[in-house]
A = this chain, B = another copy of it.
């Protein structure tokens, strides 16, 4: 008969169920609005209204608007890196190559963006801004995500599977960018296409089979 019993729906409610549920609602409301309008253009009143909660509740749960945003960033990137790492692990279990691992990460990235398009939008929009309050949070959070890709690249170079001419950090950034931009374009301009379709196109690019199925010059 207790109300708490029914509130433990989906979130891994560690500790108090009610508070956690409220925060979750606020995250979901904030991520959509900020993705659409940007941080500054989104008002706390809007967030509260969308979450079906009073404005005071926002400030009861988060110290300020920007703290809410920072925690939202950490939350989201946590989900992303977990998903990327899982993809790599699964490849490892199946004894796949490092290129297979990269390919699996591309797919995981696409799945993530398909599930949380608003978060991705917001992340890209804020990542390269300078002089903002949450600058340091972004730096940490970016490093977390890119590091997973860098690790796979390094492993691949170590075992000779990938060329040692590769510039690891730069290539990792470029790969992330490739997936990010292709996926956002997919969502924004060709949403009817299937994930497999997008994945295949990016796979082709990754494996360098764009140049007519032959090696490039030099």
A residues whose Cβ falls under 8 Å from a Cβ of B? 35-41, 97, 99-100, 121, 124-132, 160-163, 165-167, 169-171, 173-182, 184-188, 190, 197-198, 200-213, 215-218
Given A129-B35, A180-B181; A211-B208 close (CB under 8 Å) = yes
Closest 3 CB pairs of A and B: A208-B208, A177-B181, A207-B216
CB distance from A162 to the nearest CB of B (A): 6
B170 and A186: CB pair below 8 A? yes
A128 and B132: CB pair below 8 A? no
Cα separation A186 to B177 with both chains bound (whole Å):
12
B207 and A218: CB pair below 8 A? yes
B211 and A161: CB pair below 8 A? yes
Chain B residue at smallest Cβ distance from A121: B128
CB distance from A216 to the nearest CB of B (A): 3
Cα separation A210 to B99 with both chains bound (whole Å):
10
Chain B positions within 8 Å of A170 at CB level: 182, 185-186, 190, 198, 201-202
- Can you sample 12 A-B contacts with CB below 8 Å? A38-B125, A40-B40, A99-B211, A99-B216, A99-B217, A125-B125, A125-B126, A161-B212, A171-B201, A173-B181, A174-B201, A177-B185
Cα separation A5 to B210 with both chains bound (whole Å):
36
Q: Which of B100, B169, B210 contacts A190 (CB 8 A)?
A: B169
B205 and A171: CB pair below 8 A? yes
Chain B positions within 8 Å of A174 at CB level: 178-179, 181-182, 201-202, 205
